[in-house]
Structure 1
């Protein structure tokens, strides 16, 4: 995918959110350069939800909008997924793919450890490791739906993130790793060279409680 030149600005303001679950009309989104949506735009997994989401994206001022799918986003995985992708006219959809914006390398992937037979599920272990091995080593901003194991990923005191992704993040060492999926752990955590962002907007009771997280990325 060709690079996007965002008016040669020296820094990028990233606006991060995830797990909208078809409730986007009630969300107040700050302005910025790049809007990042880290999956679960749907609740029931219907094309109509994708259309409503894209219409909403069209009302937002961000110069670039990046979207990945999540475990509720069935239209992007089932046969005929092209219909869902074609509905995203106001965003760039990333599925194990990347894009460069102002010299900053973004990479997005929807996969997560399997649970209850949701979309984009893979068994823990080699199959997920193979996906994460494809993350380029020069990635500055990594966008996944699942968190890595041990980082903003607790459910009832148990870590449920992806072990293989944690290994990959240590290899790549992105400046930011944006994800969602685990509603209980919305927030920001910096460890080493990477700032981790769980941008889930819904809480564990599926109440829309949290606000988008804004990050400033200086010159790469």
Structure 2
């Protein structure tokens, strides 16, 4: 399965154009969006923005997505919301934790301990979370990752922390803001993360 991982669209039409370009160029099976789909925009714009996208989008909301947007994700024909949900695609469990949710342990108390991919807007503390003023990650996510050991964690939020890190058996990826044309192609096979390429 080929995932086009993106985050931090902030309502950018240029960013949507890049998503379309990358989906076709890299033959992606699905898109993941790790929050900040809008920049304090309206929920009724969500379906319209993604109308031309030909593949499923799995998404969580971010701190720039008002509750109106979070609710719109649940009614969108283009987006499968992962805020506190688990879906299975090609043998992999995708689960999500949005910015507005309670502690991740309350939202996702039990998930499969194999072939799991977590989408979260905010990164774990100390992993792809460095800003000019220090670490900005969420320690609750670290504890959850330690317990459930997902194969892959896709984050966003910290635009300047684009990159990939591996801790224990988990690969962490911040694809960078798609509004600036940044994304990542993640290839997974039946049992592992095979490759990550930054765009």
2:90 alignment counterpart: 102
2:5 alignment counterpart: 16
> Which segment is superposed worse, 14-23 or 90-99?
90-99
2:109 alignment counterpart: 133
Pairwise CA distance, 1:61: 3.2
Q: Distance in 1 between matches of 2:36 and 2:6?
A: 10
1:196 alignment counterpart: 172
Q: TM-score, normalised by structure 1?
A: 0.74
The SS at the match of 2:22 is coil
Q: Structure 1 regions of 5+ residues with no counterpart?
A: 1-11, 112-119, 203-207
Does the CA-based 8 Å contact 1:94-1:108 persist in structure 2? yes
Pairwise CA distance, 1:91: 2.0
Pairwise CA distance, 1:210: 4.3
Pick aligned residue for 1:209 from 180, 192, 195: 180
Flag the 1:153–1:210 CA change in 2: closer, same or farther, 3 A: farther
Aligned length: 183
RMSD over aligned CA atoms reads: 2.1
Does the CA-based 8 Å contact 2:91-2:115 persist in structure 1? no
CA displacement, residues 25-64 of structure 1 (integer Å, 9 cap, x when unaligned): 4424233112111111101231243233232xxx2333x3
The answer to which structure has the higher helix fraction is 2
Pick aligned residue for 2:38 from 37, 42, 55: 42
Pairwise CA distance, 1:214: 0.5
Pairwise CA distance, 1:200: 2.9
Pairwise CA distance, 1:157: 4.9
What does 1:43-62 correspond to in 2, within 5 Å?
A: 43-55=39-51, 59-62=52-55
Q: Structure 2 regions of 5+ residues with no counterpart?
A: 192-199
Rg (Cα) greater in structure: 1
Q: Which runs of 4+ in 1 moved over 6 A?
A: none
Q: TM-score, normalised by structure 2?
A: 0.81
Q: Distance in 2 between matches of 1:104 and 1:187?
A: 23
Pick aligned residue for 1:174 from 150, 158, 174: 150
Flag the 1:214–1:157 CA change in 2: closer, same or farther, 3 A: same
